[in-house]
């Protein structure tokens, strides 16, 4: 079973990305997922070298034209959402307009509908209705977890069988069959909780999520 290192919001910090990848390997990570807002060619190059799966974030929508031709091609092929056996993963939220599948379509949607960026990339930590819509998406797709970035903080919410949403104040979460979980993995390049880069590890065999920091 796969042990995923889930990364977000590198924001061009190659040194920090290297440190996180090394730390994740030491912790036994066997696969890498990036949740967007990478922002520099060297960082995209490294993620492609390690075979990372990825989704696009708001930077990829607005900034892909500044990248090398190779990374432009890679970014323009990224989806908005990854679906795993037990989880969903996206930059900000797991729901999108039905015809929005690429960075080009995301920009067209923003321009054609004259809406703010938050229409596609809401803040999970600030908007409770976004968390409930995310929970509904997990229910509909029968997935246990949703991983996101964008907020630059690490946070976990659980919805139990009674339908109450609870914020979990712990660095290690054991996923139980009766709950659904929303996990903010933190930021590598611009963490809001301290100077150390942060990410998460999800072990699909033990069904545990570790909120990690490096340094």
- Rounded to a whole number of angstroms, the distance between the first and last alpha carbons of the chain is 28
Beta bridge partners of 6: 33, 200
pTM: 0.97
Residue 146 φ/ψ, nearest 5 degrees: -125, 125
* Closest among 95, 116, 92 to 8, alpha carbons compared: 92
Let me know: does 29 contact 2? Beta carbons within 8 Å.
Answer: no
pLDDT tens readout for residues 148-172: 999 999 999 999 999 999 999 999 9
CATH, residue 160:
3.60.21.10
Domain extent for 199: 3-213
Please tell me what DSSP assigns to residue 114. Answer: T
pLDDT tens readout for residues 104-150: 999 999 999 999 999 999 999 999 999 999 999 999 999 999 999 99
Mean pLDDT of the chain: 96
**pLDDT of res. 69:** 98
Domain count across the chain: 1
**pLDDT of res. 120:** 95
pLDDT tens readout for residues 167-204: 999 999 999 999 999 999 999 999 999 999 999 999 99
């Amino acid at each position: 079973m796969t042990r995923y290192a889930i990364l977000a919001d590198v924001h061009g910090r190659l040194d920090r990305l290297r440190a996180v990848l090394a730390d994740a390997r030491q912790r036994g990570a066997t696969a890498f997922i990036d949740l967007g807002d990478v922002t520099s060619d060297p960082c995209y190059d490294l993620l492609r070298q390690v075979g990372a799966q990825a989704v696009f974030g708001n930077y990829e929508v607005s900034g892909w034209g500044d990248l090398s031709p190779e990374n432009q091609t890679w970014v323009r092929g990224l989806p908005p959402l990854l679906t795993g056996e037990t989880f969903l993963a996206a930059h900000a939220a797991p729901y999108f307009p039905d015809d929005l599948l690429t960075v080009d379509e995301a920009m067209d949607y923003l321009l054609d509908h004259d809406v703010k960026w938050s229409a596609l990339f809401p803040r999970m930590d600030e908007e409770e209705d976004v968390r409930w819509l995310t929970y509904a998406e997990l229910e509909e797709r029968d997935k246990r977890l949703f991983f996101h970035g964008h907020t630059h903080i690490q946070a976990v919410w659980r919805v139990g069988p009674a339908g109450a949403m609870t914020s979990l104040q712990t660095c290690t979460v054991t996923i139980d069959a009766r709950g659904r979980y929303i996990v903010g993995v933190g930021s590598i390049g611009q963490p809001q909780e301290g100077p150390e880069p942060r990410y998460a590890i999800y072990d699909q065999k033990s069904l545990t999520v570790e909120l990690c920091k490096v340094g």
